[in-house]
Amino acid sequence: MRLTDIRVKDVLEGKNWVIDLEAGQEPLNTPVMEALEFRPQDLGLFSAVVKFGDGSLHAGLILKSFARGGDETDLYVHTKFGWLNVQTGGFMRAVGKYSHEVFPFEYYVGSPWKAGDRPSADLNSPHRKIFSDLVGQLAAT
């Protein structure tokens, strides 16, 4: 399965994936595997709900590098065109005059993890509850 094949339904269920990304490779066409745990060198792809500046809610995918201390490297939002990385220059050019409706934005991860010698689920994160509440709102629209 590739990142482009991830269904919104799986994101709203809070699933996570490991992405097999090599240097210079395009993330959208990269193989992913569903993950229940992570290793310190993994790139994790996390289900999220993204709340844009205008209050609209969108399914999202957050790419985090455990090798970089759990830093976010990319944020994908599901659109009618598929998964778009909002952190690329092309996205900003495409949004143009509507950027005030997108930015600032917040995201909430369905199953957050924290980095370390052995990455582990972040059970104290408020993201789980907020994600669940926003999934309910998104499903109601």
pTM above 0.85, yes or no: yes
* Tens-place pLDDT, residues 59-112: 999 999 999 999 888 999 998 889 988 877 776 666 666 665 667 789 999 999
Residue 90 lies in a domain: yes
The domain in which residue 19 lies consists of 3-130
Q: Which residues contact 24 (CB under 8 A, 6 or more apart)?
A: none
Q: Is residue 44 in a domain? A: yes
User: What is the SS3 assignment for the chain?
Assistant: CEHHHCCHHHHHCCCEEEECCCCCCCHHHCEEEECCCCCCCCEEEEEEEEECCCCCEEEEEEEEEHHHCCEEEEEEEEECCEEEECCCHHHHHHHHHHHHHHCCCEEEECCCEECCCCCEECCCCCHHHHHHHHHHHHHHC
At 120-132, the pLDDT tens digits run 999 999 999 999 9
Q: What are phi and psi of 102, to 5 degrees?
A: -95, -45
The answer to whether position 140 is within a domain reads no
Distance between CA atoms of 77 and 66, rounded to whole angstroms?
Answer: 21
Distances (CA, A) of 111 to 69, 99, 126: 17, 28, 10
Report the C-alpha gap between 83 and 23 in whole angstroms: 20
In a domain, 141, yes or no: no
Into how many domains does the chain fold?
1
139 lies in a domain? no
pLDDT digits (tens, 9 = 90+) for 13-70: 999 999 987 766 777 888 999 999 999 999 999 999 999 888 899 999 999 999 999 9
- Judge whether 23 lies within some domain: yes
